[in-house]
Copies of this chain bind each other. A is one copy, B any other.
């Protein structure tokens, strides 16, 4: 990796799929879901294998930036790009690209999410190196995840012809982006074998993605160009306040990628990738014991218990389980969740119920 390569961590999101531990105030990426480390910290550590901290940027909102600076003190403060308000991933990408291009016209950047987990760090490193090589050829490169089940929760990327070039890892032209499919379509896509999950990880030259944004979202392009010009001047706050709130909230996938030209995909199998999107995903991310039990930050005393995940915010509390199979126990202090593992997606119903009944303190 040369001195023009950068990593941009997108870390603005909230989300309540890991409720009751993830809350409005404490989003998933700032939680020690893996034990001592937060997902944000492990994302930074993963990228520091490839980038010096001066070339790692973080786009986030004001409230989260403070905590992140404590969690990852190696990243310089000026590398935090603060969104005044969430305006979708297209706006985040455009802002980061415009600021980077001003600082370094030859910048090549990867977009990474702060709240995913990757087990196979060596493979991640190889993949990213190849993706940067492809991006140097003016491609918009996406990292695809080889599906392991017919998920209806992710968008898919269909690969076309292999890309010409002597790459260490197979690279394909992208034929088509496909939004989250229904169950039957997901089965079909899995069977065909030429579709990857859209992981939300990208690599591209700053000038190439900006050109594509200019073509498809000219308003956004003009706004971020103006903001970037003011970025390292005293006018930054005034300009961003003036322009940011009027941006249309849009995802980079729908807003740019689906109709972009020169898009490539690296389908990654065996990366051990997880978006840690629900409690049951922790069984994949962490190593269960011989009874299939996983204990995070907790004192768990299991008796005749199998495939139980026990997560606690208080490791002084003793959590005893007897005669249980396939359960998730989450002790969030003021809320306790006990849930059959295969129903952990119903946590969102509980969150909706609490919203509806104005139980704000539990949200």
Taking beta carbons and an 8 Å cutoff, which residues of A are in contact with B?
20, 301, 303-304, 316-324, 327, 329, 331, 333-340, 342-344, 346-347, 349-350, 353, 359, 362
Contacts A319-B335, A321-B339 known; 19 new A-B pairs at CB < 8 A: A301-B350, A303-B349, A303-B350, A317-B335, A318-B334, A318-B362, A320-B336, A320-B337, A320-B338, A320-B350, A321-B337, A322-B344, A323-B346, A324-B338, A324-B339, A324-B340, A327-B338, A329-B338, A338-B338
Q: Report chain B residues within 8 Å CB of A350.
A: 301, 303, 320, 322
Scoring A329, A339, A342 by chain B CB atoms within 10 A of each residue's CB, the highest score goes to A339
Q: A301-B353, A353-B301 known; A322 and B336 CB under 8 Å? A: no
Q: Report chain B residues within 8 Å CB of A316.
A: 334
Q: Report chain B residues within 8 Å CB of A334.
A: 316-318
Can you list 16 A-B pairs with a CB-CB distance of less than 8 A? Answer: A20-B318, A303-B350, A317-B335, A317-B336, A318-B362, A319-B336, A320-B336, A321-B337, A322-B337, A322-B338, A323-B340, A324-B338, A327-B338, A329-B336, A329-B338, A336-B336
Q: How far is the CB of A329 from chain B (nearest CB, A)?
A: 6
Asked if B343 contacts A322 (CB within 8 A), the reply is: yes
Q: A316-B334, A334-B317, A335-B317 known; A322 and B340 CB under 8 Å? A: yes
Asked if A346 contacts B318 (CB within 8 A), the reply is: no
Asked if B323 contacts A335 (CB within 8 A), the reply is: no
Q: Report chain B residues within 8 Å CB of A335.
A: 317-320
Q: Report chain B residues within 8 Å CB of A318.
A: 20, 334-336, 359, 362
Q: How far is the CB of A320 from chain B (nearest CB, A)?
A: 5
Q: A318-B334, A338-B338 known; A324 and B327 CB under 8 Å? A: yes
Q: A303-B350, A334-B316, A336-B318 known; A342 and B323 CB under 8 Å? A: yes
A321 to B6, CA, bound (A): 45
Q: A303-B349, A316-B334 known; A339 and B323 CB under 8 Å? A: yes
Q: How far is the CB of A128 from chain B (nearest CB, A)?
A: 38
Q: Which of B322, B339, B362 contacts A339 (CB 8 A)?
A: B322
Q: Report chain B residues within 8 Å CB of A20.
A: 318, 320
Residue of B nearest to A320 (CB): B337
Asked if A322 contacts B347 (CB within 8 A), the reply is: yes
Asked if B301 contacts A343 (CB within 8 A), the reply is: no
Q: How far is the CB of A332 from chain B (nearest CB, A)?
A: 9
